[in-house]
Structures are given as structure tokens and as C-alpha cells.
Structure 1
Amino acid sequence: MQALGGNEIRARFLDYFRSKGHEVVASSPVVPAGDPTLLFTNAGMNQFKDVFLGLEQRPYRRAATSQKCVRAGGKHNDLDQVGRTARHHTFFEMLGNFSFGDYFKVEAIKFAWDLLVRELGLPADLLTATIYEDDDEAAAIWSEKIGLPEYRVVRLGEKDNFWSMGDVGPCGPCTEIIYDRGPEFACDGPECAVGKCDCDRWLEVWNLVFMQYDRDSSGVLTPLPRPCVDTGMGLERIASVLQGAPSNFETDLLKPYIDWLVTTTGRDYGRGEEGFPFRVIADHARSCAFIIADGVLPSNEGRGYVLRRILRRAARFGRVLGFTRPFLHQMVPIVGSIMGETYPDVVEKQDYIQRVIEGEEARFLETLTEGTRRAEEMLARASASSAAKGLPAGRRGELPGKDAFLLYDTFGFPIDLTEDMAAERGLVVDRAGFERAMEEQRRRAREAREAAGSDDEALALAGLLEGQPVNRFVGYDRLETRTAIRAIATAGEEAGPRLVDEAGPETGPVHVLLGEVPFYAEGGGQAADRGVVESGLGKAEVTGASRLPDGKVVVTAEVKSGRLKTGDEVQAVVDADRRRATARNHTATHLLHRALRDVLGEHAAQSGSLVTPERLRFDFSHFGPLTPEEVREVEDRVNEAILSSRPVRASTTAYREAVAGGAIALFGEKYGDEVRVVDIDSLSRELCGGTHAATTGEVGVFKIVSESGIGSGLRRIEAVTGLEALERFRRAEAALAGAARALKCDVSEVPEKVEQLQAELKSYEKEKERLESKAAQASASTIADRAETIGPYRLAVGALGPMSIDGLRQVGDRVRDRLGGAGAGTVVLLGAPTQDGERVGFVAMVSKPLVDKGIHAGKVIGEVARVAGGGGGGRSDMAQAGGREPGSLSEALERGRALFRGALEEMARGGTNSPVSRSPGGF
């Protein structure tokens, strides 16, 4: 058996299947394109799903890939198992070969055996095959074609060896190839054997799925007319076998991460529990790098939430190893050194990936302290509750599952960490309650994904038009065409669309399927075309166009006059002005994308866009707001490209050739083998199906109107071009001219005049503050001089002129100071209407000696404010409130005077039962 490195194993696998006539297809991103039902790409077959379902045709019938996969979140979630076993990962590579109606079981099994035994050198006597219990065909192939003895062909049930894409649809038996790692890896179970034990001795290295049936809703299996093959072999697993490594983590694909941790922390790595944090961090660092490289950023929902949990889990275990500052970002170069040749984007985006990880880890370390505090509080409550119930020491009850889930969900605490902290206090965690809360979250996530992925009308419409051939889009070359109406269906009806033979003004909106369609269907961020469809008998206004799941383009229209019938010859005409405006904005979007990458760096990748005739919106990855200088430079670069009037060319080519030639493939978009490339002469080259200007000069002018943040690490630019930009300049010019007229100056003098007015205003405000302070001093003196003496105590009550609540507090402080300060036995109660005269404010202050004796300012101020139609409260020594009835100011103050006076008189007589005390019976 040869000791091959991970990169060489991948290369040999792909070369082998290339030699067997397979098309070697590049890995798709870890974010599935066009499939909202999947959080992440979790298997090699994901990118071929539509091919297996018969919805997509490829120019090849057999393929091989090495697919980047993530299993964390959703149905396939290995997150909490990572580090505990030798073979679970959040990120891994799946080597796979596929047949789309070409070869089947015989060839698939022969290929797998030949590659493993002859090409990679695995000992044949250490391999066992499992098959589905009823798959006699596979059993015969293994025994007769391969020569495996009967005892090494193990039949298992549906749970282990029958695969399905869902409850209904394609499905079939599978055969798994198991490698015997030897008795030293065996468990102590009584039946340690293939099919009876899942211990580390029996390692599944390759799974071959034979999709040969279609299962209906009643469970009936019907043979597929074109059976397919889908296989998967984990690169990390086969590497552990070929390298003689005791686990995946000791292979050359993962050990460098552990070595770095050992060197950096000075701690020893062990394969047992003591090595758990090392394995978690090694896996998670790699996973984070690839997820971020494919366009995901940490957030509180969907894929971003999963990324955040992975990253924070790694950071938490970094604390276990002694890290007190962000460290994960330092491991990103290791990813590039191991896998950069195969996946160059992790090297090209290394700085960006590091900055995202470092920022998120720093934020988490800030919240981790708070999370630990919350965990301690929850555990203390649980301990106290169980002690109160008289439970014996050493088993003080349990932490509620909902609390454990809150820690897990909000602070990223792994459940095992919470269980460890609980065990230290003699508690257990209500694991069942935790799982219920987790399942509830999964249910909500499933519903959200299903809602996002469903378009009932489009699916229903596709079903109605199933017999119609896919129509042809001719709108790249011409804006009108003579064609025929193939079908008409109602639109927007609650019961769903239905086919009709004809439509008139009374029909309402309809979907129209044309033989040829010049209208661009909404997609790729570009708004749909509008226009008209007319015949000699009727005319309809086209309000939109959309592409159905099967590729047909339908237009949405309303008949304005006459009638349109199925079979009518019609003239379909696009609104040319609207199309040209949209094209200008789309070309400007490409120029903006290039300019942002040039100014900010290659990490400034598009994450979303909207192109309409009126404006463009562009979302991109970046860490913070653009400076005014950066905005200006981006704007200048785009306008320089416009002024140079460069040609804009579109061509169709193979996807691999386009990407190899430098074309940018956008995050989240799904591409076929043939793609359209829009090339702006040496400036920009992107895969794009949208409509564009013929030259950059047609864009006219480009103006950014806003730049803002829309989430963690995401920015948004909105801009206008052409006539819209000109109109915006005119509005700005008119506003500036109006300001000049109001300021009685020339337009060029407006900034200087505004600065002058601001300086004058600031001077007036200072003078106003000085006068208010002087008035407050005078008012304070007057109110203090009129203060009542009640035994040893002083009570000052006063009404003032219009004043803010802050002004009232300042006067109150001065009155209190004149009466002896906070240490004397004083009470101050003030009120004043607000400066707009619509409300009234109150402030009450009670000195510390009186607070200690039971008088509470907050209780009294609430009573005072209620008289004036308001409410409020505060501390025992200082409180404020407001009311809606300024006319009740005097009455309210007298109410407060009476309450405070009564309390002070009681105290002066030596009483202790204050009517404004903090006791339950007081105010």
C-alpha cells in the first residue's frame, strides 16, 4: 500500500476516471447555487441534482469530481461530533464518479475495486462490501466479477444500504466498501463485525449508490428508464488509510493545523480526550476559511449563523488551550499552503478571510465573558432550586433544557461545555429539553427554507405548459419580433393559474407564452423588460417577464383593448427607452464591481445587485464604510471607463474556459456548462446573462448617491447613470441655487456662508446657556430663600419658566447646595413647562439623611406627575417626571409639597411611619 499525500490521492482519483472517459468537473462552491433547500453543499451529487431529476442536460454522461462539502446545520449536521471521532468533519472533500444513464452496477463496482486495489494499492483481503439485502444483482457482481468470498459480502437493511433523494423521487440500493483497520482499532463489543458494529475498526471508504427506482407517494417503486450512479469517497478517510494514520486528523490534510497549535501553545497533543480541542480547532479553522471564501459572512441566520457557530466553537476551545486573544486568523495561511493549488481562491482571498475571522473572533471573546456569567447565574439558580426541594448533595437536580439552548444559541456554548460546567456543581442538563428546543429551531429553519424555495405559481404554470417546447429568447439581438401565442394562462388567482383560450380586458393579468420572446426575463438582479404584444384584434401591455424552472420564458400582460387568442400571430415589442436605461445601469454595475476591487481589494466581491431603468444597487463584501476619498476614486474610475467609450462584447463559451480566462463567476449564481461572458475591453470580464450597452460611452455618466452598511461585512452602493444622473444633478443645482437665494449670496459662496451662520449660531447658543445659567442661579436663590423650615429639615418647592428637564436638574442642584448640600436634611421639588409649552416637567431631590429615614423621591414624583396628566419615577434621592397638562403645574406642585411636608413633620415629631417611605404602604 502506497503512502500517498492528500493532494496526490485527489489527482490520481480524477486522472483515473478521466482515463475511463469521465468529464472531470470542477467543485461547485460550498453554497449551493439555486437550491434554497440546502444550507450547504453536502455531497458530490448536489451540483448534478437537476441532471439526476431529468431537468437538465449535460454534454457528457459520466463525470468525476472532488467536491468541497460542509456538513454543519440542517439535516446533515456533524458539528457536535467533530473532534470526538476519527472521521467527522464540518468541511471535507468528497471524491465521486457519476453516471447519468450510461454505465451501471457492473462498471461502477469494477471501477471502484480497480482504483482501490490496483491504483491505490489497498490489500484486497482487508476490504468487505455491504449491499442492500434484496440486491442480488450487486451480490452476484461482487462474488462473480470481483471474486469476493461470500462472507465478505454483507447484506444489510434499508436503513444502511438504501438511498433516496427524498420521501418521493429517485432512489435505489447502495453498496459500501469497508476497510478493516485491524484488531487494534476494535471495540470491546461482543459482535465486532461489519454491519454489526460502528467502531473505528470498520471504516467505510466508498459508497456507491445505484439510482434505479422512482418512489411514489404510496411507496411503490417503479424502475427508472435511465438508471444512474452516484458515488462518494471521503478524501480525508482514504488518506488516513493510505498514510497509515490512526485518524483523519493525523493525515497531511489536517495534521499541520494541530502541529501549529502544539508549537504555538506549547501543549502536547493526544489522541484521547486531551486532543479534543486540537481536533475541533483544526477542523473548524479549515471550514471557516472555505465557507468565507465562497461568500458567506457571520450573521444570525441561515448559512451565516452556521459559520458563526463554527467559528465561535473553535474560539471557545482556543480558550481551553490558553488563547486569550484572537488566533484563528493566524491559521488561514495553513489552508492555502495545503490546498491552495487545488483551490486558489483561499490564497487569493487570504487577507479578506483573515480579517473576517479576526473581527468575528474578537467580538465573540467580548461576549464570551458575558456568556460565562449568564451560565454561572443559570447554574446557581438551578442549584438553589434543587437545594430548596431537598435533593441530596452531589445530585442537585438539573439545568432546564431551554436555558442550555439559550447558552448554545446566543453565546455559542457547545452543549458539552454546559454539561461540564453543570457537572462541576453536581447538576445535570435536561438534555431532552435541550433537544426539543433544538428541534423547534430546526423546524423553523426548515419552514423558512421551504418558504424561500417555493414559488407555487411558477411551478404550477410550468406544469400547465409541460407539453410546450422551450421558447427562444431573441432580445439580445432585437427589440421586437413577429411570433405566435402558444398559450395563455391566468395570473394571480388564489386557486392558481389555469389555461384559457383567449383573454380580454376583463380577464385581468395573464401569463403569455410566445414562440419567440424579445422580453428579458427578470433574473441575475436585472429587472424584466416591459412593452406591448399586439395583433390585428387586440393589444396587451407587458408588465414583466419571468423564466420558469424548465427554462421557458413567459410574459405577464394585461389586455388593454380587443382580444388575444392562443395561436394568434402577434408583434412583440420591447419598450426601447426602458431597455436602454436598464442596459446602461447593468454595464455601469460591471464597471463599479471592477472599480471596487481595484480600490478596496479583490475581497470586494459582489453579493447581490438590482438593476432597473431608474437606478442600480450593488451589494459587496467589505469591512467598514468607504471614506469620501474612496467613494470619489471609485466614481472617478467608473467615469473614466465611460469616457474612454470601450466596446462591450458578449460571447458564449464553456464554463471552464471562461473561468480559466479570468471571467468572474458570481456568488450564489448557478451556471451550466455553456455560459455567456460579458467582456468590457480589458477592464471587466464576468459571466452574465443580462443586457448591456454597446459601448461604455453609452452609459453617459455615473453618480453614487449612497453608500451604507446592510449587515456584518456587507456594504451597499446605490447609483444612477445617464438621464437619471443628469436629473439628479439638476435637482442638486436647483437646491443649491435656492440656498444661495435664501442666504443672499452667490452659489460659490454658499459653503462659506453656511459656516459663518453655524459659527454665529454656536455663539448664540453659548450666550443662551450663559443667560440660562444666570437665570437659574437667580431662580435657585429665590426658591432657596423661600424654603420652609420644618423642625431640623428644609423643604423648597418652586415653579419656573419654560425650561428643559436638564435645566430643572441644574436649578435643583443649586437650590440643594444653597440649603446645605446633599448631606443636609433637605427636599427640593421643582416644576416647569417645556420650552414648546405643550408639556410640563418635574424634578424631586431628597438628601441622603432623609433617604436613610425612608423618604423616596421617586414615589412622590409619580403622584405629582399624575396630577398633571403624566407619570414618572426614579431613585430615592433623585427622580424626574413629565405631564401633558402644563396648566396643572401649580396644583401638582402643591400636591408634592403636601406629601413631603407631611413626611417631614412626622419625622420632626419623632415618628417613623413616613407616608412617602419605601415601605409597601408608602408611595
Structure 2
Amino acid sequence: MTSQDVRKQFLDFFASKGHLIVPSAPIVLKDDPTLMFNNSGMAQFKEYFLGNGTPKSTRIADTQKCLRVSGKHNDLEDVGFDTYHHTMFEMLGNWSFGDYFKKEAINWAWELLTEVYKIPKENLYVSVFEGNPEENVPFDQEAWDIWKELIDEDRIILGNKKDNFWEMGDQGPCGPCSEIHVDIRSAAEKALVSGKSLVNNDHPQVVEIWNNVFMEFNRKADGSLEKLPAKHVDTGMGFERLCMALQGKTSNYDTDVFTPLIEKVEQITGLKYTTNDVILNNSEESQEQNKTNIAIRVVVDHVRAVAFAIADGQLPSNTGAGYVIRRILRRAIRYGFTFLNTKEPFINQLVTVLANQMGGFFPEIKSQQQLVTNVIREEEASFLRTLDQGLQLLENVVAETKGSTVSGTKAFELYDTFGFPIDLTALILREKGFELDEAGFNAAMQEQKNRSRAASEVSTEDWSVLIPGNVETFVGYDKSESDVKITRIRKVDSKKDGILYQIVLDNTPFYPEGGGQVGDKGMLVSANETIEIIDTKKENNLILHFAKQLPENVNAGFVAKVNQDLRSLSSRNHSATHLMHQALRSILGTHVEQKGSLVNPNYLRFDFSHFAKMTETELQQVEDFVNARIQEQLPLIERRNIPFAQAVQEGAMALFGEKYGDEVRAIKFGESMELCGGIHVKNTAEIWHFKIVSEGAVAAGIRRIEAITSDAVKAYFASYENTLNDVKTALKNPQDILKAVHSMQEENAKLTKQIEALVKDKVKNLKVSLIAEIQEINGVQFLAKQVDLNPEGAKDLAYELGNLGNNLFLVLATADEDKPMLTCYVSKELVAEKGLNAGQVVRELGKFIQGGGGGQPFFATAGGKNVAGIQQALEKAVEYVK
């Protein structure tokens, strides 16, 4: 049974049980501040469990792309070392929202596994919650009674809170669960040891495949439990593990989910992957093969996570979710570099295999294939350069080390500043006969984690519900003011923002941050007081209004007033973004797709797929295109609640990585039509004017434009006019400014040539005088001297002197414009025979002038800021030849 068959049979089975089959949500979450990524099948349904929304059906089934690499669910460091943990994985799930409960969920799970998939019953074990008296949660007798009708009682295991009580987070819906485990060991192994004793004991062939969670409690902020008003079912089955069981394999990586990728790695590297990872002896060959296997597993697992994240809109970066993706990819690159001997980018070549393999069910990986390939290739090249730089820095650390133990603090600096992996540092040190101060490294790492944790620490109280059962409505498309009542409030205390209050209203004109547009600010006004709203966000289908204080009377009637000035500026930038998107596709080609945006009152930022830097002509064409649409005074044509398929069929742009409902809102200005939930102008004339202020690269194949409109453009032109007036004044008010500047440039060029000629003469004269100062020390011609030249002159002088012989070691110092510079020249013969290295010399001597530098072994320079240290540097130089 192929993996495609396994997935299809699961969905077909639950469709036959009355479930609505829905597509996977994007792997990257955009409207849930509590999660970076979808880390479980239920993440996209949180609002239904919390009672903040109504699902399209009370029965739903799907397969969800998941990523577990940060926070509570972090499997990253296990990946590769065992055969069943993954970063990105598929979670097959069926859901009941207040419909069926334990009986149906358990019976259907058993029917699917034993009758459809035909897994032998003697290979299965199940667990039920044993209860927790401390929390007054009893033993799950109901689940036990259902299971004993299906399976022998000696195959039912009692599980504790850790294994058999599932929680969404520190607060929120939770409940007991019933897990199903499969034993895929050989008959001989089963005869020796009972599978029951291996359940939940990290045995690679006795693994959990399905968890049935029975949501019936809500965890409050104080840790107590209360009953939910409705009971729900939340199940998750590991697709990769299920394929392992059904395909008769003993490792997830031996299934057709991974074998095509593994075969491609074998082809690229010339190394072989073996399915049997059990080391039967301690031979060097066996040990090396195991390292190869681990590295290949890391690579093929990680490329899936990175590729799907990029396809869903998350580029690698240095912050947030982007940093997590970069970290996963760098782990794969580093394993390839260290254990597969790959010194050139290669992981990007796996994207084609992945797209062919999974593109049928997940079309985004196929449509975004070229972009994903380009981004991964560029990230690989960049990190391989970092590894080379790190290797050189590590050499310096080793050279400075006294004794045989390298400072853990120094190793942490390499890790933290340059991204150099600590296990690679330890490996290289061992090869050189050094030890790593692991305790020092761990202490530095823990200190950083403590700082990070303290900065992001948040405590959230329970909601205080003032008006139960209210369904909040957004009225901001039609109003900027509305009569409102507060329906619920809660207090949030964070190290970053201090104490804030989140307020939910029965209706609101405030737009919550989303689609790139920032949240509205404004006020809640009652007869007696005014409360400032400093931000608006959306979480689990609730619109949260952030305030630094609560009203004295939270039950009063209020008028919610949006800051119309700020909203108006944001709406102009948002509408201009749509017009620019249209312009880019028209001028550059339809390969252009939005990959990210930011819209606030001050400016707009737009990331898009394109393979080359835009020319000045292209940028001007985009500006002209957008400004022409502004001049046409195009009215906004807004269509709400139209079917998604109809909107796309009519030409509306839908963005990859966005989660759309069955009904959508379409925004149209002339020929520009996009699906969008943001706030827009009523007519393009309100934008006034559009001006691009920058264009540059974000990642391989991704460009970024920053632009301004309206009041910001007026300020931009006013600033340029002021600058022009200042230039006129500096040039003594010439009639033709451009002619005056050209004249000044020509005069400057003539003077520069004269200076260069004078410097050359000075170099020749110095050369003659310095020859007499060269000393011979241990067979090396040596000179360390401060000269009155600029850095370029010092370089010329160094080469002039170097041409006189083949055993010169020279250090020249300059202090042109009070900026100290060291120039080191070493004859190539000395580099080979004596081991002198100009790059290492200037790095050491540069410390005396509070600077640093580098270069080639025969020529290098270092700049600094301490002129007074020049003499010490020159005196130190002689030690290299003594």
C-alpha cells in the first residue's frame, strides 16, 4: 500500500462516516500569537474548541501539515537519531464538535485499523487514562468499557497524566485521551519480550500511531479544571508511522514517504544508506555507517520542513518563525558538511523529488517549486561560507588557548554570533587533541535562554465574561464609530509590554492586525471616561482591543472610535499595495507573487517573487503605472461573502500560505482584483501620489519594495526641496546647480590625480630611505615602521619593497586622518618555509589599535581606532621573526 493509498483510504473512510473533508491549513500560522507553526492537527480548529466560532460541519476530517521544532512540542534534537521522530509530519485527524464522543471515535478507529488497513489485532495495544485524584478527574471507565468489547483486556494499559491527558496549552480545552500503539517487531522478538512492557518506552518498533483526545474540560489560569459546555473529539494519527506499519517496515525512513529522497541523496553524495541501524560491533566501519545514516535522515527530514514552510510563505530569517526555519536548514547543511562530505549546496536538488512526490495532494509545493529551490540554494551557499569563516575563527581560538581545554564561553560566541554549531566545534577540537569546556558552554547558553525567557515571559488570566454567548461582529468596513458593550476582559502581564488588558466588544469598528495591515488604534468613550486603545489583534477568532487600563465601569455603554487619521493613512498604503502588485505583474511578468507585506500609517513594504534586481526603468514604470491608476480616480468595488471558487474564477488573486474560508471578500480597483480582508480607500484619488523609496533582495528569488503615499510623499518631496536649497547655498547659489556640481567633480578629479602622483613620488623616495632600515633577523629581512602615507600609498610601498627580494617580512603603520591602519607584507617564500601568515599577524597586531582585519597569507591589512597603539604593534611585530 503506497503512502498515497494510505492517505486516501483514511479520508474516504471518514467521509463515509459523514465527515466533511477539509484541506490542510498552512504550516505557518498568522493569526495565532501563541503558536509560530501548526504543531498539531487541531491547531486550525482552536476557535471551535474555545467556542469562538462555528465550524462548517460538526464532523470534519483532514490531513494536516505539522511542524514541531520549538516550544512545548520540540522534537528537533531527536530527528535523525531515531527512526520515528520528525520535524515536519502529516497528522491524519477526525474531529467532532459537540457531535459524537468516545463510543464512535474508538469504534471507528478500531474499524479503520483492523478492517480497512487490516493491521492484525495482536499487534495493537491501547491505553486509557488512569485518573488523577488531585484534580478530581476519575479513571476513564467509559473508554475502558468500550475498548474491552474490542480487544483483550491484557492489551489495555493504564496511562498517567503525562501520557494520557492531553492539553492545548497551559490554559484552554483539555481532556483524557486514549492512545493506540502498534508492535511491528518480529515474532521472535515478541516471544522474548511482551510488547505491553515496551509501550511509551521509546522503543523504535513499538510506537504510538493514533491518539483519541476527548475534550471535556477547560484548564483555567489557576490550574483548576471546569467542565466544557459541549464535549468534543480531537484525534491525531501519525501518517509516517502508519505507513511504516502498513508497509511492513521497521523505520519511517524505509517507507515510500522518504525513500525517493534518500535515493537522491545517495546519488548526489555517492554514499549508501542502510536500513539496519543496529551496530552489531564497534568497528570503525560500522560506526561510520551509522553516522552516514543519521546524517541522511536529518537531511531528508529537514528538507520537507523547510520546503513546505517556504511554500507557505515563511522565508528563512534571523527572527521569529524565520529563524526556526533557518535553524532547521542549517542543521541539515551542517550534517551534510560534516558526515556526507558535501562542501557545495546540494539540498536544493531534493526539492524536485519532493514536488513530484507530494505535489498531487499538496499543490503549493509544486507551484512554488522554483522559489523554494532558489531560497534553499542561497541559504546553503551562505551558511557554507559561514562554516568556512567559523573554521578560521576556531583556528584562532585554538591558537589562543593555553592548555588542552577550549573555553566554553568562546565556543558559545562562535555559536551565538556566527551560527557555528557546537557539536561541530567539539568534533574539530577532538580531532586536534583539545577538549571543550562543555559546562562553560552550557552555562553561557542557559544564561542567554534565561534572558530570552525573561524578556518573553507572559502570564494571562482567565477571561472574565460579562455577556455570555455573544458572537462578536466586525463592522469596521462600514463604520469608524459604533455603540458597543464590553463582553469579556482579561489581564495580561508580560516582561516586554508590562500589564495590558484585552477587551472584547459585542461589535467593533476596530480592524485587527492581519493581511499585513496593522491593527487600529483609537478610544472607548463613555459618558464619564475615555479609554485609549493602543492596538487591535485577532486570536482564535476573537478581536482583542489592547488597553493600559480598564474602564471604572466595565458594564457601561461605550462608543468605540477608531483613530481615523491613522486608519486613513494605512488604507491609502494598503490600496496602493494592491495597485503595485498589479503593476509588478504587468511590467515584470505573471511569475510575480506576493510573499509578504506590511501596511502601516507611515509606509508600505511588499515582498514578491522575482529573479533579478529591478532596473531604474522598471521601478519608474511601476511608479508611473500606480500613479496613472490614482489619476484615473478608480472607485472601490467591494464584494463580500462570495464563494471562494467563484472569486478565483472571476480573476481574484489568492495568496499562497493564506487560509481562506468558503466565502471571501474581494477588493477591486479597475483591473486589480485581490482577496483581502483589509481596510481600503473608497477611491484611488485618496492615495494622492505613490513613490518607491527602496528596492532590494530579501532572499534568493525574493525582492522587497518599500514605498510611501499621501502625506509621506509630501514630506518626502519637501525634504528633497530643503536639501536642494542647502546645496544651492553651499555652492553660493549658482544659476545652474547641475553645471556647478559637474564643475566641482571635474576639479576634484584633477586634484585626485595630482595627489596620486605626489604619493607615488613619496613612495619612491621612502623606498630608497627604508631599504637602509631593513634588518636581518634569523635570516629574515625585517622592517616595522610608521610612514606618512595614506593606506593606498602604504600598499604600493609594501609591494615596491617586496619586489626587492624573497625573504621580506614587513609591517607598515599609517595614521591618515587619525585612522590607524596596519599593512603587512610577507614574501611567499616565507609563507611556505617559515609558516608566517600576514592575515594572522594583522589580526593579532590589530588588537593594539583596537581593531582588526585580515587578508591573504602574503598580504593583509587591519584598521582600528587607537592611534596611540601603533608603537606597541610595531614593537610586537619583531617577535614573529625572533
Shared fold per TM-score greater than 0.5: yes
Say whether the 8 Å CA contact 1:607–1:621 is kept in structure 2: no
Q: Distance in 1 between matches of 2:770 and 2:43?
A: 80
Q: Secondary structure at the match of 1:587?
A: helix
| Distance apart, 1:139 and its partner CA | 1.6
| Selected match of 1:363 from 374, 382, 389 | 382
Of residues 758, 761, 775, the one that matches 2:745 is 758
Given candidates 546, 559, 562, the residue that maps to 2:536 is 546
For 2:742 and 2:753, the matched residues in 1 are separated by 17
Change (3 A) 1:425 1:871: closer
Query: What is the aligned counterpart of 2:163 among 141, 160, 164?
Result: 160
- Taking structure 1 as reference, are residues 195 and 720 closer, same or farther at Cα in structure 2, changes over 3 Å only? same
Describe the SS at the equivalent of 1:44: coil
Counterpart residue type for residue 241 of structure 1: A
Partner of 2:213 in structure 1? 209
Question: 1:848-887 maps to which residues of 2 (within 5 A)?
Answer: none
Between 727-736 and 17-26, report the one with greater CA deviation.
Answer: 727-736
- Amino acid of the structure 2 residue aligned with 1:141: I
Q: Which amino acid aligns with 1:252?
A: D
Aligned equivalent of 1:345: 364
Aligned length: 812
Of 151-160 and 705-714, the range deviating more from structure 2? 705-714
Residue 96 of structure 1 contacts residue 231 of structure 1 at CA under 8 Å; is this kept in 2?
yes
Check 1:335–1:174 CA distance in 2 against 1; reply closer, same or farther (3 A cut): same
Q: CA deviation at 1:239?
A: 1.7
Are residues 1:150 and 2:148 paired? Answer: no
Match of 1:683 among 666, 672, 685: 672
Report Cα offsets for 1:378-404 as digits up to 9, x if no partner. Answer: 889999638xxxxxxxxxxxx877677
Cα separation, partners in 2 of 1:539 and 1:810, compared to 1, 3 Å: same
3-state SS of 1:333 partner = helix
RMSD: 5.7
The answer to whether the aligner puts 1:93 opposite 2:90 as a matched pair is yes
1:383–1:427 contact (8 Å) kept in structure 2: no
Q: Is the 8 A contact 2:573 2:599 kept in 1?
A: no
Q: How does 1:439-454 map to 2 (within 5 A)?
A: 446-447=453-454, 449-450=456-457
Question: Does 1:135 pair with 2:140?
Answer: yes
Q: Which of residues 232, 235, 258 is equivalent to 1:231?
A: 235
Find the aligned partners of 2:160 and 2:489 in 1 and give their Cα distance.
Answer: 47
In the alignment, which of 11, 28, 33 is matched to residue 31 of structure 1? 28
1:588 to partner: Cα distance? 0.4
2:594 is equivalent to residue 605 of structure 1: yes
Q: Please give the alpha-carbon distance, in whole angstroms, between the structure 2 residues aligned to 1:744 and 1:381.
A: 58
The correspondence of residues 254-403 of structure 1 with structure 2, limited to 5 A, is 254-273=258-277, 274=289, 275-319=293-337, 320-371=339-390, 385=404
Change (3 A) 1:18 1:512: closer
Alignment partners' CA distance in 2, 1:183 and 1:211: 36
- For the 8 Å contact 1:237–1:248, the answer to whether it is kept is yes
Aligned ranges for residues 346-495 of structure 1 at < 5 Å?
346-371=365-390, 385=404, 446-447=453-454, 449-450=456-457, 463=464, 469=470, 472-479=473-480, 483=483
Secondary structure in 1 matching 2:404 = helix
Q: Is the 8 A contact 2:101 2:233 kept in 1?
A: yes
2: distance between equivalents of 1:193 and 1:583?
62
Q: Distance in 2 between matches of 1:282 and 1:261?
A: 8
Q: Cα distance, 1:94 vs. partner?
A: 0.6
Q: One-letter code of the match for 1:213? A: F
Residues 250 and 410 (structure 1), Cα distance of their counterparts in 2 relative to 1, 3 Å cut: farther
Amino acid at match of 1:68: K
Structure with greater Cα Rg: 1
Change beyond 3 A, Cα 1:699–1:327: same
Aligned to 1:62: 59
Looking at structure 1, the residues matched to 628 and 436 of structure 2 have their Cα atoms a distance apart, in angstroms, of 64
Q: 2-side partners of 1:771 and 1:828: how far apart?
A: 22
Contact 2:386 2:419 in 1 (8 A): no
Structure 1: unaligned runs, 5 residues or longer: 387-398, 499-510, 786-797, 849-869, 886-892, 900-915
1:118 aligns with 2:107: no
Partner residue, 1:173: 176
Question: Aligned equivalents of 1:917 and 1:403: distance in 2?
Answer: 24
Cα distance in 1 for partners of 2:643, 2:267 equals: 43
Q: Which residue of 2 aligns with 1:792?
A: none
Give matches, 1:788-799, under 5 Å: none
1:663/1:687 contact within 8 Å kept: no
User: Closer, same or farther in 2 for the Cα pair 1:470/1:102, shift >3 Å?
Assistant: closer
> Which secondary structure does the structure 2 equivalent of 1:171 belong to?
strand
SS of alignment partner, residue 74 of structure 2: coil
Contact 1:658 1:677 in 2 (8 A): no
Task: Give the letter aligned to residue 372 of structure 2.
Answer: I
C-alpha distance 443-163 of structure 1, shift in aligned 2 (>3 A): farther
User: Shift of the alpha carbon at 1:67?
Assistant: 0.6
Residue 95 of structure 1, CA deviation: 0.3
Q: Measured at CA, do residues 666 and 74 of structure 1 come closer, stay the same or move farther in structure 2, by a change above 3 Å?
A: farther
| Conserved 8 A contact 1:822-1:847 | no
The answer on 1:720 being equivalent to 2:708 is: yes
Q: Is the partner of 2:666 in helix, strand or coil?
A: strand
Structure 1 length as normaliser, TM-score?
A: 0.72
The alpha-carbon deviation at position 27 of structure 1 amounts to 1.5
Q: Deviation of residue 805 (structure 1)?
A: 5.6
CA displacement at 1:729 relative to structure 2:
4.4
- Distance, in Å, in 2 between the alignment partners of 1:206 and 1:281 is 26
Describe the shift of the 1:411–1:122 C-alpha distance in structure 2 as closer, same or farther (beyond 3 A).
farther
Residues 380, 750 of structure 1: CA spacing in aligned structure 2 closer, same or farther, 3 A cutoff?
Answer: closer
Pick closer, same or farther for the CA change 1:129–1:808 going to 2, 3 Å.
closer
1:791-810, aligned counterparts within 5 Å? Answer: none
Select which of 247, 271, 285 maps to 1:243: 247
Query: What are the equivalent positions in structure 2 for 1:465-864 lying under 5 Å apart?
Result: 469=470, 472-479=473-480, 483=483, 517-518=508-509, 520=511, 524-526=515-517, 546=536, 551=542, 579-596=567-584, 599=588, 602=591, 605-612=594-601, 614-619=602-607, 626-643=614-631, 645-653=633-641, 657=645, 675-688=664-677, 690-708=678-696, 716-722=704-710, 724-725=712-713, 728-729=716-717, 732=720, 750-751=737-738, 754-770=741-757
Contact 1:156 1:195 survives alignment (8 Å): no
Say if 1:94 and 1:402 are closer, same or farther in 2 by CA, change over 3 A: farther
Q: TM-score, normalised by structure 2?
A: 0.74
Query: What is the SS of the residue equivalent to 1:759?
Result: helix
2:35 alignment partner, SS class: coil
CA displacement at 1:66 relative to structure 2: 0.6
Residue 215 to residue 695, structure 1, CA distance change in 2 (3 Å): closer
For the structure 1 residues 443 and 31, does the alpha-carbon distance in structure 2 shift closer, same or farther, using more than 3 Å as the test?
A: farther
